[in-house]
Structure 1
Amino acid sequence: EHYGVTKAALEHGKHVFSEKPLAADMKEGTELMAIAKEKNLLMGGAPDTFMGAGIQTARKVIDDGLIGDVIGATCAMIQHGPETWHPDPDFLYKRGGGPMMDMGPYYVTALVQLIGEAVGVTAVTKKSFKERLITSEPHYGEKIDVEADTYLTGNITFANGAIAQVFTTFDVYYPSQNYARFEIYGTKGTMIVPDPNTFGGPVLLMRPEDVAATHSDPGLRTGNLPAYAGYKEIPLLFDYNVNSRALGLSDMCKALRTGRDFRANCQQQYHVLEILTSFEKSSREGKFIPLTTHYTRTAPMKNNPMHGILDD
Structure 2
Amino acid sequence: MGEPLMRIGMVGAGKISGAYLDTFPKLPELQLTAVTDLDPARAEEAAAKAPGAVAVKGGVDELLARDDVDAVLNLTIPAVHAEVARAALAAGKHVYGEKPLATTREEADGVLEHAAAAGLRVGCAPDTVLGTGTQTARKAVDDGLIGTPVAATAFMTTPGHERWHPDPEFYYRPGGGPLLDMGPYYFSSLVHLLGPVARVTGFSSTPRDERVIGSGPRAGTRFAVEVPTHVTGVLEHASGALSTLVMSFDVHAARLPRIEVHGTDGSVSVPDPNGFGGTVELYRGTAGEWETLPDEAGYRDASRGFGLADMARGVASGEPHRASGELARHVLDVMLSLLEAAESGNAVAVASTCERPAPIV
Q: TM-score, normalised by structure 1?
A: 0.88
Q: Distance in 2 between matches of 1:32 and 1:277?
A: 17
Secondary structure class of the residue paired with 1:165: strand
Q: Percent identity?
A: 41
Question: Which residue of 182, 205, 208 corresponds with 2:282?
Answer: 205
Q: Distance in 2 between matches of 1:84 and 1:111?
A: 28
Q: Distance in 1 between matches of 2:313 and 2:142?
A: 25
1:235 aligns to 2:294 (yes or no): yes
1:307 match = none
Q: TM-score, normalised by structure 2?
A: 0.76
Deviations 1:136-192 (A, max 9, x none): 1121010120001100000110111100011100011115xx576211010000111
Question: Which residue of 263, 270, 277 corresponds with 2:329?
Answer: 270
1:144 aligns to 2:223 (yes or no): yes
1:224 match = none
Note the C-alpha offset of 1:124: 0.3
Q: Distance in 2 between matches of 1:180 and 1:101?
A: 20
Deviations 1:180-239 (A, max 9, x none): 62110100001110100111120011112211xxxxxxxxxxxxxxxxxx2110111135
Secondary structure class of the residue paired with 1:209: coil
Preserved contact between residue 123 and residue 155 of structure 1 (Cα < 8 Å):
yes
1:39 aligns to 2:98 (yes or no): no
Secondary structure class of the residue paired with 2:217: coil
Deviations 1:223-268 (A, max 9, x none): xxxxxxx211011113544451110000101111111111111111
5+ residue gaps, structure 2 = 1-79
Q: Distance in 2 between matches of 1:43 and 1:243?
A: 20
Q: Distance in 2 between matches of 1:239 and 1:279?
A: 29
* Superposition pairs of residues 184-199 of structure 1, within 5 angstroms: 184-199=261-276
The one-letter code of the counterpart of 1:96 is G
1:161 aligns to 2:161 (yes or no): no
RMSD (Å) for aligned C-alpha atoms: 1.3
Question: Which residue of 197, 213, 226 corresponds with 1:134?
Answer: 213
Deviations 1:104-158 (A, max 9, x none): 0000000000001110110101111000011111210101200011000001101
1:254 aligns to 2:310 (yes or no): no
Preserved contact between residue 299 and residue 360 of structure 2 (Cα < 8 Å):
no
* Superposition pairs of residues 60-75 of structure 1, within 5 angstroms: 60-75=139-154
Q: Distance in 2 between matches of 1:120 and 1:17?
A: 28
